A and B are shown apart, each in its own frame.
Chain A
């Protein structure tokens, strides 16, 4: 085990994937000499060359559209979108082409593309740099959506996303880039016996009274809430895969606890939490002691950074929802 930041874990995972498969190429703005604005690709161009770590022109639709062509030629492009709020110019290519190509070609053309997007707030950034657009992509059939909750998950799942024959939109919780955690570098991400299925939710802390479902940046927040909770025992589940959703793991937990709180930074309206509430209610109607509650960002454009602490779910808001669930 090595203690490393999530940024380093992603960098190490990318390096491992590139060593194992010469078809893996990286493509994005400022990812070469600069190593990306968050340094996730630091040193990779130096070691793998300009042909495999390519700086792209400043055009997101172009980056993703070119990746479609590269994938058709047999490559496995890993593209970086610099910030969450800049993915929208590529939305057309992602939902109309990347997501649908395999279906439209009746399985003859695969799209093994990974679209890496740093997302979420909490870093005091200017606007368009703190958004959580994951629901747009989870809503789109043909895409898979992953987001790691800690450095170990980041190290493994970035490799699994690259090895996946389906397109994966990979959301990196940017405010957790610098959080450290133990990473087992000796783990071979291809070893299905030893490595967890990336599409399965993980119970990151067991508990009895309330199930707290979260992902990405909120995993740490919810673990802290679980530690701080004196009255109720919380079971924290890191969803990790936002599409497809692993409902079975949630159902198994809620059938025991009878209560579910879903936590995400993204706005509530028609979000991941709404989908989970609907599905879990359908499956666990007779087990539920309280309605499924959501702790989310509000239904407003992401606020100016001086206000973000009021917008983002934190430990207290999670515990407030836990109290409400317990009081039913």
Chain B
């Protein structure tokens, strides 16, 4: 299977060398402040990722799913959302949750094991992380159907990876989105690997080409080019808002780290592959562009580095000092209205644990 970037098939507005590239259909014009802000977001998200990986190694997090290398796809796409829109992330979309205003400690809490959620999805316009592969694509399609019933011009973006395109739920989401012409953008980050399985095991055809079979447009974009990601996502969201139905965006990117901290990618992929993708780094190319265009200087980059350092301290200290949940809190919110049998178990646990006197002998 050919490399979508090398073949020139993917939409690109910023080359890996940081040169602006023109495209006949897509373009984007952003102010200097916004461009600098995109850079800042990507650097900060990457720093959170670095810290989280270290925290997992130190035993402070149970697990971490790294977003390293996918910052442009995530920040760029989520940047295009309006407050009333709704994002459905997987467990790797730290750049998306960050862009929706969810605080790092809120999305780290699940990995610490103090909650299975971390924020109020309705208030933030962003669902909590979904771990079961592909489930959230259907939630996105259904939410978009609700938007239609409301006669609103809000839109949905549903995230998933190349691995999830194997799942029935993602393909069913394409069917539902399509036949109801729902305002949903299916945003697939093709990071080339589903744990140890390469993308060749996903499909014999490129992922974005599947959209045609479902009756809506599919677009291949360089997922490490934040300008192209924004241009493509913006058009897809506009189409959704104006009654044009779904779009499948395949953001061609690369999972630079392991699947999660429990994984060892040296067992299944070559180091040379990483070298190719390191040259396509999403942050570096924007940095070169900003510097060359005189949009940002060394002083600005230093300032962002310093902000990242401070954020890292905040993340480290914040994770370590997260309060331990009360044991009996596990019974909270199982139901909107609890019931007798459950409350009996809660009482039992409470009394059982209270029966142990600290320091007492058995």
Contact = CB atoms under 8 A, between A and B. Distances in A.
A93 interface: yes
B132 A92 contact: yes
Q: How large is the interface on B (under 10, 10 to 19, 20 to 34, 35 or more residues)?
A: 35 or more
B122 A62 contact: no
B141 interface: yes
B143 interface: yes
B173 interface: yes
Nearest to B131: A96
Contacts of B116: 100, 103-104
A74 B127 CA distance: 14
Nearest to A22: B149
Contact of A108 (B120, B143, B334, B340): B120
B139 interface: yes
B140 interface: yes
Interface string B143-180: 11111011000001000000000001100110110010
Interface stretch (A63-71, A124-132, A260-268, A304-312): A63-71
Given A92-B132, A102-B335, A69 B168 contact: no
Nearest to A66: B142
Contact of B172 (A57, A106, A244): A57
Contact of B333 (A51, A67, A106, A247): A106
A166 B339 CA distance: 12
B127 A97 contact: no
Interface residues of A, number: 44
A73 B332 contact: no
B273 interface: no
Interface string A27-66: 0000000000000000000000001000011010110011
Contacts of A75: 146, 149
Contact of B142 (A59, A65, A107): A65
B334 A65 contact: no
B115 interface: yes
B265 interface: no
B240 to A, nearest CB: 14
A270 B142 CA distance: 35
Nearest to A100: B116
Interface string B334-349: 1111011110000000
Given A74-B146, A107-B333, A61 B138 contact: yes
A65 B145 contact: no
A245 interface: yes
B260 interface: no
Contact of A106 (B130, B145, B332, B339): B332
A62 B172 contact: yes
A73 B144 CA distance: 8
B121 interface: yes
A89 interface: yes
Given A92-B132, A103-B116, A109-B121, A166 B143 contact: no
Interface of A: 25, 51, 56-57, 59, 61-62, 65-75, 89, 92-93, 96-97, 100, 102-110, 141-142, 144, 164-166, 199, 244-245, 247-248
Given A69-B142, A97-B132, A110-B336, 14 more contacts: A57-B172, A59-B172, A66-B141, A69-B156, A70-B142, A71-B142, A72-B86, A97-B139, A106-B333, A108-B123, A199-B339, A244-B341, A244-B342, A247-B341
19 contacts: A57-B179, A61-B138, A65-B142, A66-B138, A68-B142, A69-B145, A70-B142, A70-B143, A71-B142, A72-B121, A72-B142, A89-B168, A97-B135, A103-B333, A105-B117, A105-B120, A107-B332, A107-B333, A144-B335
